[in-house]
Structure 1
Amino acid sequence: MEEGNTFVNALVGAVVTAVASSFIPFAPVLGGALSGYFQGGTRSDGLKVGAVSGAIASIPLVGIAVLIFSFLGFVSLGSGEALPFAVGGFVVVIIFLFVLVYTVGLSALGGWIGNYVKYDTDIDL
């Protein structure tokens, strides 16, 4: 990996997050840590690349959530009641925000940890 190439390092972390999310709890920390480790620089550089990695990794998650909730919204419109649709829209917004905060926040934390591991420990990848 080229040290300091933010987009490539963030993309690597996002791919790791997307692949590992299905079987590793808190996978965004792992993806962000790899991004931060490969990025180098300061701790704030690790935070930034981790956050970018989380933002990239959340794109497929948000896409899947929109697809599922669009289907559920379409089905609820057939019921003829406006209240369940409004409540469903509120739930979609809350879930979207949770996924975004979870993925981006944990990836940023992982970026900081990866930068810490690179410069302050004896671990070498």
Structure 2
Amino acid sequence: MEEGNTYLNALVGAVVSAVASSFIPFAPVLGGALAGYFEGGTRSDGVKVGAISGAIALIPVVGIMFLILSFIGFVSVGSGEGVLPFAFGGVIVVFVFVALFVYTVGLSALGGWIGNYVKYDTDIDI
């Protein structure tokens, strides 16, 4: 990887996060750490590339969430429940999106900081 190529490093970290999230808990930390390690620079550069990596990794998660919620909405249209459950459902959707955003982008930014730390302050060489 080319040091300082922020978007390429973020894309690599996002792919690692997306693939590893199916079998590794807290996978955004791993993807962000890889992006931060490849990025180099200062700690703030590592956090920045980690956050970008998390935002890219969030795109397929939001797409899957959209499909699932669309299916649930389609099934519940004929239930005749009225307006309140739909309004409550909107609050739940916003809460779930914010939680996913904080989880993915926040942990990736933390991973970017860790990756930068590992590159410059430890003897570990990847």
Range class of TM-score, shorter chain: over 0.9
Alpha-carbon distance, 1:37 to partner:
0.1
What aligned pairs does 1:12-23 form with structure 2 within 5 A after superposition? Answer: 12-23=12-23
Give the gaps of 5 or more residues in structure 2. Answer: none
Alpha-carbon distance, 1:38 to partner:
0.1
Residues 12 and 31, structure 1, Cα contact 8 Å, conserved in 2: yes
Following the alignment from structure 1 to structure 2, what is the Cα–Cα distance between the partners of residues 99 and 16?
Answer: 17
Residues 14 and 31, structure 1, Cα contact 8 Å, conserved in 2: yes
Alpha-carbon distance, 1:77 to partner:
2.1
**Counterpart AA for 1:83:** L
Indicate yes or no: 2:66 matched with 1:60. Answer: no
Alpha-carbon distance, 1:76 to partner:
1.8
Cα RMSD of the aligned pairs, angstroms, is 0.7
| TM-score (norm: length of structure 2) | 0.97
Following the alignment from structure 2 to structure 1, what is the Cα–Cα distance between the partners of residues 90 and 39?
Answer: 38
Following the alignment from structure 2 to structure 1, what is the Cα–Cα distance between the partners of residues 88 and 74?
Answer: 14
Give the corresponding residue for 2:25.
Answer: 25
Following the alignment from structure 2 to structure 1, what is the Cα–Cα distance between the partners of residues 86 and 71?
Answer: 12
Give the corresponding residue for 1:101.
Answer: 102
SS of the residue corresponding to residue 41 of structure 1 reads: coil
Give the corresponding residue for 2:39.
Answer: 39
Alpha-carbon distance, 1:103 to partner:
0.1
| TM superposition outliers: structure 1 runs of 4+ over 2 Å | none
Alpha-carbon distance, 1:30 to partner:
0.2
Give the corresponding residue for 2:124.
Answer: 123
Following the alignment from structure 1 to structure 2, what is the Cα–Cα distance between the partners of residues 107 and 95?
Answer: 18
Following the alignment from structure 1 to structure 2, what is the Cα–Cα distance between the partners of residues 49 and 4?
Answer: 10
Following the alignment from structure 2 to structure 1, what is the Cα–Cα distance between the partners of residues 11 and 89?
Answer: 33
| TM-score (norm: length of structure 1) | 0.98
Alpha-carbon distance, 1:71 to partner:
1.4
